[in-house]
Amino acid sequence: MCGRFTLHTLPDVLQDHFGVDGLPSELAPSYNIAPSQDIAAVRMLGERRRLDMLRWGLVPAWAKDVKIGYRMINARAETVADKPAWRTAFRLRRCLIPADGFYEWRRTADGKQPYHIRMKDGGVFGLAGIWERREAADGVLESCSIIVTAANDTIRPVHDRMPVIIAPGDYGAWLDPGLRDPGALQHYLRAWSAGEMEVYPVSSRVNRPVNNDAHCIEALEVAG
Q: What amino acid positions are annotated as catalytic residues?
A: 2, 104
State the Cα–Cα distance between residues 189 and 147, nearest whole angstrom: 8
Q: Which long-range contacts (C-beta less than 8 Å, at least 24 apart) are formed by 32-36?
A: 32/4, 32/6, 32/206, 32/209, 32/211, 32/212, 32/216, 33/4, 33/5, 33/6, 33/7, 34/3, 34/4, 34/209, 35/3, 35/69, 35/70, 35/73, 36/69, 36/70
